[in-house]
Structure 1
Amino acid sequence: MPTLIGSVQRALRLLEAAVAHTGGAPAKQLAREAGLPLPTAYHLLRTLTHEGYLRREGGVFVLGEAAARLAHGGLQQKRRSMILDSLAHFRDAVGAPVYFAVYREGEIEVVGVSDTPATPACEEWADFRETGHAHAIGQCLLGQLDEKTRREYFDRHPVEAITPYTVRDLRALENRIGSLGPMQTVTERQEYALGTVCAALPITAGDAAATMAISLPLHQQERLPYVVKRLQSEVGALLSTLSFSISI
């Protein structure tokens, strides 16, 4: 085990040395910068090349696809952590669950949710992606799309009542969406989940349709205007983080 751990440590040092040279570096230079004997470096470089972490081009070693995937995954995780940290801040500020969602590749995607045991998020009992007509998140995102893109969504996910309060047909939903002003908050009461009210704010994040939303139990619905106003007043500070992270 110590030998295996040592080998991993030496390989990582070689990778760190390679990262510092975007145009690549020869084995001797990488060995020197990693503090390794040249024979050891050659052995590890061959292994790293075989596994796709490095590739050899014109006598120098450059990062391979496996290293790029590893770096991309780490960046994605960092971005997601940034979103969740930001949502937790706003959750505490407004005293309600906070959601961040985007419309991407033809589907509604909830990127992050932050809640607490005392203020639990709405249970996803029906797939959020397929029921955009029924919840504030979906209605807010769909309202930011052009008519053609919205129609394509409804072709895949037809409007249907999932509670007694859900909008009943596409015409009624289009009339509602069409009545919304630019950047207007969308609210719904028990259309997606009985006993729950929701509000969603449209977010400008590059070219993507995005939204932040909150939910409350029905018996607290009188708090909805205050919570929405509080979220609106603070959301500007979050936009840089969410815009940066929209590509997750």
Structure 2
Amino acid sequence: MRLLETVAGHQHGAPAKQLARETGLALPTAYHLLRTLVHEGYLQRDRGLFFLGDAAERLVSSGAAQKRRSTIVDTLAQWRDLIGVPIYYARYRDGEIEILCVSETPSNPAVHEWADFRETGHAHAIGQCLLSQLDEAARRDHVDRYPVQSLTPYTVRDDHTLLRRLERIERMQPVTERQEYVLGTICAAVPLTVGDAAATIALSLPVHQSERLLPAARQLQREMGRRVGSLALAISI
């Protein structure tokens, strides 16, 4: 690890003797470790100089991805505790709805996925919010692949009604649904558009707390506005 760190500090590469001296390793030990690291792809050697290899670059990339996910997880947990509701992060990617992170507590449990979220986007606030960010052709393609189906007495009834509803959703406004996915639960989703990516941060509440839904959604939207820079960076890369 010291060798890798030392090589990383030399943009134009460094010879074995210099690396041994800077890491405090005996030269034969340094040579042995350098050969092993080259063989495994963590270093590459060119004209006697050592540089980071492809395997090291992948390691760095994986670490950065973990850090970005950690940023999202920590942020959602802060909002969960501040607002007192379960918080969800989802994206629309490659034609599919993906729930990427859920932050809940025993006292504020998340919605149980009793029907596949990917196939029931018409019935929950997350799906409706994501679909509202798409163009008309992409919405119709999604509905063709996942037609409307009744999950509760409150679920939208047909594809045409759903598409009309999506057209009426105002840009950057919270999207709400009340017992359309599961009885006893209401939800709100705030759009989070980063470049071409459609994303959302959402929350859910038991139906007996209906009066909290819009105030909680507005509070979530304000908190998102304060963290939009870090969220955009974490989501867009």
Choose from 154, 160, 169 the match for 2:143.
Answer: 154
Partner Cα separation in structure 2 for residue 161 and residue 46 of structure 1: 63
Alignment partner of 1:125 is 2:114 = yes
Q: Does residue 224 in structure 1 map to residue 213 in structure 2? A: yes
Change over 3 Å in CA distance of 1:148–1:24 after alignment to 2: farther
Taking only the aligned residue pairs, the percentage that are identical comes to 62
Give, in angstroms, the shift of residue 179 of structure 1: 1.0
Q: Is the 8 A contact 1:113 1:121 kept in 2?
A: yes
Pair 1:135–1:32, CA change in 2 (3 A):
same
The corresponding residue for 2:201 is: 212
Q: Which digits, 9 at most, give the CA deviation of each residue in 1:109-141, with x for residues without a partner? A: 222221111011111222222221111011101
SS in 2 for 1:209: strand
What secondary structure sits across from 1:246 in the alignment? helix
Contact 2:139 2:163 in 1 (8 A): no
Query: In 2, distance between residues paired with 1:210 and 1:200?
Result: 10
Structure 2 CA distance for partners of 1:21 and 1:186, relative to 1, 3 Å:
same
Q: Counterpart amino acid of 2:153? A: P
Q: Secondary structure at the match of 2:160?
A: helix
Give deviations 1:53-85, integer Å, cap 9, x for gaps. Answer: 112223222212211121111111111111111
Distance 1:22 1:125, change over 3 A: farther
Where do 1:1-248 residues align within 5 Å?
Answer: 12-247=1-236
CA distance in 2, matches of 1:168, 1:140: 18
**Mapped contact 1:104–1:208 kept (Cα < 8 A):** yes
- For the residue of structure 2 that corresponds to 1:121, the secondary structure is coil
Contact 1:199 1:228 in 2 (8 A): yes
- SS of residue paired to 1:42: helix
Is the 8 Å Cα contact of residues 99 and 114 (structure 1) preserved in structure 2? yes
Q: Given the two structures, how large is their TM-score scaled by the length of structure 1?
A: 0.89
Structure 2 gap segments, 5+ residues each: none
Contact 2:194 2:236 in 1 (8 A): no
Aligned residues: 237
RMSD: 1.6
Q: Distance in 1 between matches of 2:8 and 2:213?
A: 50
Q: Which amino acid aligns with 1:158?
A: P
What residue ranges of structure 1 are gaps of 5+ in the alignment?
1-11
TM-score scaled by length of structure 2: 0.93
Change (3 A) 1:208 1:41: same
- Give the deviation of 1:226 after TM superposition: 1.8
Q: CA deviation at 1:24?
A: 2.2
Give the distance between the partners of 1:153 and 1:30, measured in 2 at CA.
Answer: 56
Please state how far the C-alpha of 1:31 moved relative to its aligned partner: 1.5
Cα offset, 1:161, TM superposition = 2.1
Q: CA deviation at 1:232?
A: 2.2
SS of corresponding position for 1:84? helix
Mapped partners of 2:52, 2:143: distance in 1? 44
